[in-house]
A and B are shown apart, each in its own frame.
Chain A
Amino acid sequence: MPAIEPWSAPRAAEIIAGLADREGAMLPILHALQEAFGFVHEEAVPLIAEALNVSKAEVHGCITFYHDFRAGPPGRQVVKLCRAEACQAVGAEAMHAEVLRRLGIEWHGTTRDGAVTVEPVYCLGLRACGPAALIDDAPVARLDADGLQAALIEVAA
């Protein structure tokens, strides 16, 4: 993952201005903001609305429709666990329950030390080798709770 910058309204305005002329600029802007700051700060909403000449409600609607966009900073590692049918069929639900229990969090939650955020995702295209997940955008297949724990330690090291 690229280094995350602290939230800065002038920097956000610069990112928005750089993409505002594109057709269908909303999603590219939201992606760029999340890539830069790790989440889409609520202060970005009026900036985007102004730049694209749309209402704040429209921007808010777009951010909340796509669960990939976060309203707050994530943990240092983001784990996306696949909850789609193929992974369910090979026992992902039980594994997920175990992972969340070990981390002491719920879906979309971040551990208290800010180390890990766990989010659900619906199919990563790794159906033949589930349970699947993304750890900081890197695919991991045939996952179990111990394997995830080991992978998190490996990535954090």
Chain B
Amino acid sequence: MSVTVFIPRDSVALGLGADRVARPLAKAAAARGLDLTIVRTGSRGMVWLEPMGEVATPQGRIAYGPVRPGDVESLLDAGLAEGGAHRLRVAPPTGRRASSRRIFP
């Protein structure tokens, strides 16, 4: 299954190391035989969460941040491709409404 991950490449995200996350992510995904496409975007402006990666799932995008290069392996282990739970996961889990009090996991 092909997975799309969105990683910003505006100057804020780059300044906080987005490239240093995107490169190892592509490499680690390839090493695991995961069909992962990285799409570079602009920031959503939540600077404190940059670099913030988002993964497209059937339920919508799930965000993770701030991601450090050292987090890449644990994110893949946690099932990043399916929006799996991880301490850096920002978005509410699948199907949860924005009005839910559990904004953060």
Interface of B, secondary structure class, is helix
Total chain B interface residues with beta-carbon distance under 8 A: 8
In contact, A125 and B11 (Cβ under 8 angstroms):
yes
Contacts of A157 in B (CB 8 A): none
Q: Give B5-28 as 1s and 0s: 1 = Cβ < 8 Å from A's Cβ atoms.
A: 000000110111000000000000
Of A11-19, A32-40, A62-70, A126-134, the one contacting chain B is: A126-134
Contacts of B16 in A (CB 8 A): 129, 141-142
Contacts of B12 in A (CB 8 A): 125-126, 128-129, 139, 141
Q: Give A120-152 as 1s and 0s: 1 = Cβ < 8 Å from B's Cβ atoms.
A: 000011101100100000111110000000000
In contact, A139 and B50 (Cβ under 8 angstroms):
no
Q: For the complex, is B47 an interface residue (Cβ under 8 Å from A)?
A: yes
In contact, B11 and A139 (Cβ under 8 angstroms):
yes
In contact, A128 and B47 (Cβ under 8 angstroms):
yes
In contact, B15 and A140 (Cβ under 8 angstroms):
yes
CA A128 – CA B47 in complex, angstroms?
7
Contacts of B50 in A (CB 8 A): 129
